[in-house]
């Protein structure tokens, strides 16, 4: 039972790990594409914007020396050369300088000088002293509708003098290299996590297969054990029945032996009575005493057949409350005792209340409260000598034992 519980706990644990792995493998690409990668791109843009602001602030402090605003002539040849030098060998690919009116007074690309930026964002956002940034993908238009040949971040940095807008810088940062590094980092990280999750999934599946096999083997073993247990129970039940039958037979044999012993004792007692006395009544009285004792019967009487008159006459009785049957004289065939004598068979009446007609010979008989009645013919050497009547005040059954008496 403990081993089975351990397997169930292990199986549930592996199922949980399997579900977690499947969820991780499913969610990871979605999380990477919808949350992780955009977050890195946003961070790259913000860092580039901050860098552009620092560059613009630095350049603005250089150009405003002695000037109230940026205009043509504010940029000397040395400063122009320095600005062009900044765009060499770095991610800063282009710098433009605007006057407050939006005119380009300097650009690292000489073709841009003299153009005027009439876009709404310049006056509404940049001229208000706010930085304005846009991520421009390769082969798409910039804020000034120019086709860009690489991925860049275009940033407008306003130049303020005593909270007055005096010009602006437009700085282009090439993000292709940074983006490539970012893509490699994200892809590599995702690949590692995906590989770990996939490995974990494979391990869980392998463990699940092993647990399933172990469960199948355990079920087979339990089934075999159950079959052996059932077979053993059947054998025990069969043997128990055999033992019960043997015990019943032994008890029956013991009862038969006890019955035979009791019969022998009765016969021995009667034999001694006959030997000790020639008085028939004394002998029959002893006989009734043994019969009522051995059969545990309430009352009994003996009627002897007068061979001359063929009348059954009362001789002795035992266990009666009254003298109900003391003067009994019955012809053969009359009443229950007469029928037992003439038919030479035991007459049994289970309930005297239903067959009271056989005892009309005495009005006192109803006071005895007898229920069960037996009339046993006494036969010796093929001749009927009399009838033994047995009475009991409760239902009784002992036909086999009475057969031995007759």
Q: Model confidence over 284-329: pLDDT tens digits?
A: 888 888 888 888 899 999 999 999 999 999 999 999 888 877 878 8
Residues of the chain with CATH 3.30.450.40: 280-405
Structure confidence at residue 308 (pLDDT)? 92
Contacts of 144 (CB under 8 A, 6+ apart): 115, 117, 119
Say how many CA atoms lie within 13 Å of 335 toward its Cβ: 22
Question: Which of 186, 154, 179 lies closest to 169 in space, CA to CA?
Answer: 154
Residues of the chain with CATH 3.30.450.20: 2-182
With cut-offs at 50, 70 and 90, classify the pLDDT of residue 404. Answer: very low
Q: Which CATH class is domain 280-405?
A: alpha beta
Contacts of 103 (CB under 8 A, 6+ apart): 114, 115, 116, 117
Contacts of 45 (CB under 8 A, 6+ apart): 133, 135, 153
How would you list the strands of the sheet with 372-380, edge to edge?
329-331, 311-318, 299-306, 383-392, 372-380, 347-349
Residue 81 scores a pLDDT above 60 = yes
Residue 399 scores a pLDDT above 60 = no
Range 147-174 average pLDDT: 86
* Better-predicted residue by pLDDT, 179 or 357: 179
Q: Determine phi and psi for 394, rounding to 5 degrees.
A: -150, 160
Among 5-19, 40-54, 162-176, 273-287, the range with the most confident prediction by mean pLDDT is: 162-176
Range 157-177 average pLDDT: 86
Q: Which residue has the tokens 């039972």?
A: 1
Residue 335 scores a pLDDT above 80 = yes
Q: 9-23, 115-129, 172-186, 323-337 — which is least confidently predicted?
A: 9-23
Burial 283-315 (b: 16+ CB within 10 A, else e): bbbbbbbbbbebbebbbbbbbbbeeeeebbebb
Among 39-48, 167-176, 253-262, the range with the most confident prediction by mean pLDDT is: 167-176
Structure confidence at residue 312 (pLDDT)? 92
Give pLDDT tens digits for 201-243.
777 788 778 877 878 888 888 899 899 889 999 999 988 898 8
Residue 271 scores a pLDDT above 70 = no
Domain 2-182 has CATH 3.30.465.10: no
Structure confidence at residue 359 (pLDDT)? 61
Percent of the chain past pLDDT 90, that is, above it, reads: 14
Structure confidence at residue 352 (pLDDT)? 82
With cut-offs at 50, 70 and 90, classify the pLDDT of residue 272. Answer: low
> What span, in angstroms and rounded, lies between the C-alpha atoms of 357 and 329?
16
């Amino acid at each position: 039972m403990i081993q089975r519980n351990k397997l169930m706990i292990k199986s549930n644990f592996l199922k949980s790990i399997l579900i977690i792995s499947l969820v991780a493998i499913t969610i990871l690409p979605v999380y990477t594409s919808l949350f992780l990668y955009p977050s890195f791109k946003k961070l790259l843009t913000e860092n580039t914007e901050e860098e552009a602001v620092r560059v613009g602030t630095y350049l603005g402090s250089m150009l405003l020396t002695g000037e109230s605003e940026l205009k043509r002539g504010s940029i000397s040849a040395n400063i122009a050369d320095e600005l062009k030098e900044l765009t060499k060998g770095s991610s800063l690919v282009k710098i433009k300088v605007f006057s407050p009116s939006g005119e380009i007074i300097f650009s690292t690309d000489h073709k841009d000088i003299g153009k005027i930026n009439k876009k709404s964002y310049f006056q509404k956002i940049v001229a208000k002293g706010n930085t304005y940034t846009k991520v421009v993908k390769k082969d798409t238009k910039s804020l000034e509708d120019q086709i860009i040949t690489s991925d860049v971040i275009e940033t407008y940095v306003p130049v303020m003098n005593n909270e007055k807008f005096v010009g602006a810088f437009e700085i282009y940062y090439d993000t292709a290299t940074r983006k490539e590094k970012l893509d490699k980092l994200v892809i590599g990280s995702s690949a590692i996590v995906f590989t770990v999750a996939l490995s974990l999934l494979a391990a869980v599946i392998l463990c699940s297969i092993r647990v399933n096999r172990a469960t199948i083997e355990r079920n087979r073993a339990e089934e075999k054990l159950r079959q052996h247990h059932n077979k053993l129970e059947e054998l025990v039940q069969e043997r128990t029945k055999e033992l019960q039958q043997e015990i019943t037979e032994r008890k029956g044999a013991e009862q038969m032996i006890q019955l035979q012993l009791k019969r022998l004792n009765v016969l021995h007692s009667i034999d001694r009575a006959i030997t000790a006395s020639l008085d028939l009544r004394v002998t029959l009285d002893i006989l009734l005493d043994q019969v009522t004792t051995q059969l545990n019967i309430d009352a009994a009487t003996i009627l002897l057949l007068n061979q001359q008159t063929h009348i059954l006459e009362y001789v002795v009785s035992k266990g009666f409350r009254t003298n109900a049957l003391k003067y009994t004289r019955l012809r053969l065939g009359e009443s229950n005792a007469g029928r037992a004598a003439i038919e030479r068979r035991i007459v049994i009446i289970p309930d005297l209340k239903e067959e009271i007609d056989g005892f009309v010979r005495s009005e006192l008989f109803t006071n005895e409260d007898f229920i069960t009645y037996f009339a046993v013919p006494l036969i010796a050497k093929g001749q009927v000598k009399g009838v033994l009547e047995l009475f009991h005040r409760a239902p009784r059954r002992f036909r086999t034992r009475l057969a031995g008496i007759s």
